[in-house]
């Protein structure tokens, strides 16, 4: 890994933790006094915590890496002005979800995280997912490994009959039938499923061997890009397909790839 990317990685890990702490303080505030919440759509909310956390991340990134592109869940794609000139984005792009699992966050639950990836030529090369409620930082550098805090990450190495727990995500943008078919296929093979409501954390937990797979048929780039590099480095099979307006993702231990695909 070149020096410049290594510096970005160090910066990224620190930033994910600081942003996570900021969001965590907002959740404490929510528990004590409430927050301003807007409804974006059915079961789709945004709070001042999402907006302020993204704005903090964006400010830190544009200050340190003004030449980089930025795509955030709340701000969309931002063309950064630097020295009065339009950013030609000759370097890479930061892809940011300030709070993934917003519904959990707003319901005062601990299953949410900050997710930040840096992409070069459309591929995530470094990524960090920080879960402030458990002080867990999942991170990876392309070609060099993935870590949970300081510990190297590896997907579950159990034998085929020991891989039995999959995390599913559901999006109303895709037919319910597809989701139900996946669930049935898993159950028919004796595989348990969960739905935790944070795609980024769900992916990180596959990398950590806490789940054997994750599948969601419509998802946005900011929900998955950090997870993709972390999963690849932890030895997961990762399949990302473009679908209209977003992506479909499945990631699993190799033994479950075909079954999860269907
Ligand atoms: C959502 C969560 C959820 C997933 C949705 C995402 P948000 O992200 O990751 O688990 O099923 O597809 O949009 O809105 O909480 O950042």
Q: What is the mean pLDDT of each run of 10 residues along the chain (262 residues)?
A: 91 98 92 73 71 96 95 78 47 95 93 98 97 98 97 88 87 93 96 96 98 97 98 98 96 95 94
- What's phi and psi for 39, nearest 5 deg? -95, 120
Q: Calculate how far, in angstroms, residue 96's C-alpha sits from the geometric centre of ligand 1.
A: 13
- CA 27 and chain centroid, separation: 19
Residue 199 CA: which ligand 1 atom is closest? Answer: 9
Selecting from 3.40.50.150, 2.40.128.30, 3.30.540.10, 3.30.1330.30, what CATH number does the domain 2-153 have? 3.30.540.10
100 lines ligand 1 (CB under 6 A): yes
Residues in the chain: 262
Q: Calculate how far, in angstroms, residue 159's C-alpha sits from the geometric centre of ligand 1.
A: 31
pLDDT digits 0-9 by tens, 76-130: 877 544 444 444 555 899 999 999 999 999 999 999 999 999 999 999 999 999 9
Percent helix, strand, coil in the chain (nearest 5)?
A: 35, 30, 30
Residue 219 CA: which ligand 1 atom is closest? Answer: 12
- CA 181 and chain centroid, separation: 25
- d(C-alpha 138, C-alpha 127), whole Å: 8
- Counting ligand 1 atoms within 8 A of each CB, the residue from 169, 201, 250 with the most, and so the one to mutate, is 169
Q: What is the pLDDT of residue 31?
A: 82
Q: CA nearest 233: which of 201, 198, 206?
A: 206
- Taken in order 50, 56, 62, 65, is the CA torsion positive or negative? negative
Q: Calculate how far, in angstroms, residue 101's C-alpha sits from the geometric centre of ligand 1.
A: 5
219 lines ligand 1 (CB under 6 A): yes
69-72 and 165-168 strand pairing: unpaired
CA angle 53, 56, 62 (to 5 degrees): 140
Residue nearest ligand 1's atom 15 by CA: 101
pTM of the predicted protein model:
0.92
Q: Calculate how far, in angstroms, residue 260's C-alpha sits from the geometric centre of ligand 1.
A: 20
Q: What is the pLDDT of residue 86?
A: 47
Q: What is the pLDDT of residue 75?
A: 82
101 lines ligand 1 (CB under 6 A): yes
Q: What is the pLDDT of residue 79?
A: 57
Q: What is the pLDDT of residue 43?
A: 57
How many CA atoms does the CB half-sphere of 254 hold within 13 Å? Answer: 6
Q: CA nearest 173: which of 45, 44, 50, 261?
A: 44
Q: CA nearest 213: which of 152, 170, 165?
A: 165
Helices (H), 107-208: 176-188, 199-207
199 lines ligand 1 (CB under 6 A): yes
Class of domain 160-261: alpha beta
Q: Calculate how far, in angstroms, residue 85's C-alpha sits from the geometric centre of ligand 1.
A: 35
Q: Calculate how far, in angstroms, residue 202's C-alpha sits from the geometric centre of ligand 1.
A: 10
- Counting ligand 1 atoms within 8 A of each CB, the residue from 219, 225, 226, 251 with the most, and so the one to mutate, is 219
165 and 158 in contact (C-beta within 8 Å)?
A: no
Domain ranges of the chain: 2-153, 160-261
215 and 249 in contact (C-beta within 8 Å)?
A: yes
Residue nearest ligand 1's atom 16 by CA: 100
Residue 103 CA: which ligand 1 atom is closest? Answer: 15
């Amino acid at each position: 890994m070149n020096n410049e990317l290594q510096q970005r990685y160090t910066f990224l890990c620190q930033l994910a933790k600081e942003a996570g702490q900021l969001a965590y303080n907002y959740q404490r505030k929510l528990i004590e006094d409430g927050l301003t919440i807007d409804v974006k759509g059915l079961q789709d909310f945004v709070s001042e915590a999402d907006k302020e956390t993204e704005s903090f991340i964006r400010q830190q990134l544009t200050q340190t890496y003004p030449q980089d592109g930025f795509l955030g869940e709340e701000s969309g794609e931002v063309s950064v002005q630097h020295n009065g000139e339009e950013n030609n984005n000759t370097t890479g792009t930061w892809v940011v979800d300030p709070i993934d699992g917003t519904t959990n966050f707003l319901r005062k639950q601990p299953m949410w995280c900050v997710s930040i990836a840096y992409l070069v030529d459309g591929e995530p090369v470094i990524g960090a997912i920080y879960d402030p409620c458990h002080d867990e930082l999942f991170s990876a550098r392309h070609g060099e490994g993935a870590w949970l805090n300081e510990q190297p990450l590896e997907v579950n190495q159990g034998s085929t009959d020991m891989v039995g727990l999959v995390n599913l995500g559901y999006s109303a943008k895709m037919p319910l039938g597809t989701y139900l078919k996946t669930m049935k296929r898993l159950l028919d093979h004796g595989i348990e499923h969960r739905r935790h409501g944070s795609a980024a954390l769900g992916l990180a937990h596959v990398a950590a061997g806490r789940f054997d797979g994750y599948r969601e048929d419509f998802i946005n780039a900011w929900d998955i890009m950090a997870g993709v590099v972390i999963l690849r480095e932890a030895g997961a099979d990762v399949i990302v397909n473009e679908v209209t307006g977003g992506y479909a993702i499945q990631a699993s231990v190799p033994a479950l790839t075909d079954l999860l695909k269907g």
